[in-house]
Amino acid sequence: MTTETINPAPAVTQGRGNRKQARRNTLIGWTFILPNFLGFLAFTLVPVLAAFALSFMEWTSFSAPKWVGLANFQRMLESDTFWVALRNTVVYALGHVPLTMALALLLAMLLNRKLKGIGFFRVAIFFPYITSLVAVAVVWNMLFSPDSGPINQFLHSIGIAEAPGWTSSSDWALPAVIITSVWRDMGYYMVLYLAGLQAIPSELYEAAEVDGASAWQRFWNVTIPSLRPTTFFVVVMLTVSSFKVFDLIVVMTNGGPGRSTTVLSQLIYQEGIGEGKFGYSSAISLVLFLIVLTVTVLQFKIQQRRER
């Protein structure tokens, strides 16, 4: 799907590339893009670029910005909290992206059939998404409760004596948050996969079955390759959302205990609008932007190579 982002798409005017036609195309193209582009340029792109420019300045939002060069970045690299938050964000993404992807795919395979009331189940999958975050946080924290929570009681019952402290422990708070966020997001991505699955023609499976392929082989040789475009889309969107995670963490642990679940976007919020160090917070967001961009471009290249 997205492989064409950089490759030129099939042109309207293939073979007739004279200059007049090219100019006409440019004009037509722009007229299509313009209504959205004007709004996008004015209200999103310009502020984003302004924020990036601020990362080289000191600005309290009450007075004129002052140019400070790379001082914000230097401060950031020396800040212990920045590295903690960066580490947490990366760990969160490493846990959240593959787990959500795998479970979403599994759920999609489960729901990809004609079944009475399947519509109800599909709607039910969305409930985590539209449940108030406070309710999500309270109930999951109850489930995770170190002494009386059902999760640890289960772990005790299967013979694990030293059950984790989950959200009351620095080591386990991040895994607890990851589990909750996977639970919350898997329905959303399941729909993307479900859709992808529906587009795989059943003939492919039948052919594989005739060739004597086991269920696992069919999954591996038919489903996975056919889903590659969907997977790419899911990975990109999941990566972006993992690196920007904010609401769930604020409500569930607020970055604690200590700094064990503090993430970059929280830092951006606290330092910027919270404490009025907008230059510094912009520097952090520039770094976050670059990381996400790198990951996306890398995935993009891998995808392109596979497609070839």
Partner 1 sequence: MKRITLAAIALAASAGLGLTGCAGAAGPAEKPAQEGKTTLSVSVWNYEGTPEFKALFDAYEAANPNIDIEPVDILAEDYPQKVTTMLAGGDTTDVLTMKNVIDYSRYANNGQLQEINGVVDKLDKDNLAGLDAFDLNGKYFAAPYRQDFWLLYYNKDLFKAAGVEEPKDLTWDEYVALAKKLTTTADGKTVYGTYHHIWRSVIQAISAAQNDGDQNSGDYGFFKDQYNTALDLQKSGATLDFGTAKSQKTSYRTMFETGQTAMMPMGTWYISGFAAAKKAGKTNVNWGLAPMPQKSDDGNVTTFGSPTAFAVNKNAAHSEEAKKFIEWAAGEEGAKAISKIGVVPALQNQAVTDEYFKLEGLPVDELSKKAFTPDKTALEMPVSDKSAAVDKILNQEHDLIMVGERSVEDGINEMGKRVKSEVLNK
Partner 2 sequence: MTNMAEDLKAEAPFRAGTRLEVPPSETPRRSKAPRRSTRERKARTLDLILYSVLAVLVIGLMVPFIWMVSSSLKENNQVLTVPIQWIPTEFVWSNYTDIWTRIPMMGYVQNSLYLSVIITCLQVLTGSLAAYGFSKVRFPGRDVLFLAYIGTIAVPWQAYMVPQYIMMQQLGLTNSFNALILLQAFGAFGVFLMRQYYMTIPDELCEAARIDGLSEYGIWARVILPLSKPALASLALLTFVNTWNDYMGPFIYLTSNRLWTVQLGLRSFVGQFDAEYAMIMTGSVISVVPILIIFLIGQRYFIQGIATSGMKG
Q: Which is nearer to partner 1, 137 or 286 (CB)?
A: 137
Task: Give which of partner 2, partner 1, none residue 257 binds (C-beta under 5 to 8 Å, depending on kind).
Answer: partner 1
- Is 240 a binding residue for partner 2 by CB under 8 A? The answer is yes
- CA-to-CA separations, 92 to 22, 79, 186, 243, in angstroms, rounded: 47, 20, 15, 8
Residue in 100, 230, 242, 260 binding partner 2, rule: CB under 8 A = 230
- Is 75 a binding residue for partner 2 by CB under 8 A? The answer is no
Binding site for partner 1 (CB under 8 A): 60-63, 79-81, 134, 137-138, 141-142, 144-146, 165, 167-170, 253, 255-259, 270, 273-276
Task: Give which of partner 2, partner 1, none residue 136 binds (C-beta under 5 to 8 Å, depending on kind).
Answer: partner 2
Residue in 94, 123, 224, 298 binding partner 2, rule: CB under 8 A = 123
AA identity, residue 103: L
- Is 215 a binding residue for partner 2 by CB under 8 A? The answer is no
Chain residues 40-59 in contact with partner 2, contact rule CB under 8 A: 40, 42-48, 50-51, 54
Residue in 1, 70, 102, 224 binding partner 2, rule: CB under 8 A = 1
Residue in 67, 83, 127, 220 binding partner 2, rule: CB under 8 A = 127
Distance of CA 301 to the CA centre of its chain: 18
Chain residues 173-212 in contact with partner 2, contact rule CB under 8 A: 183, 187, 191-192, 194-196, 198-199, 201, 203-204, 206-207, 210
Task: Give which of partner 1, partner 2, none residue 131 binds (C-beta under 5 to 8 Å, depending on kind).
Answer: partner 2
Residue in 57, 85, 99, 125 binding partner 2, rule: CB under 8 A = 125
Query: Shortest distance, CB of residue 8 to partner 1, whole angstroms?
Result: 31
Chain residues 257-276 in contact with partner 2, contact rule CB under 8 A: 265, 268-269, 272-273
Taking each helix axis from N to C terminus, what angle separates 228-243 and 170-198, rounded to the nearest 10 degrees? 150
Distance of CA 220 to the CA centre of its chain: 25
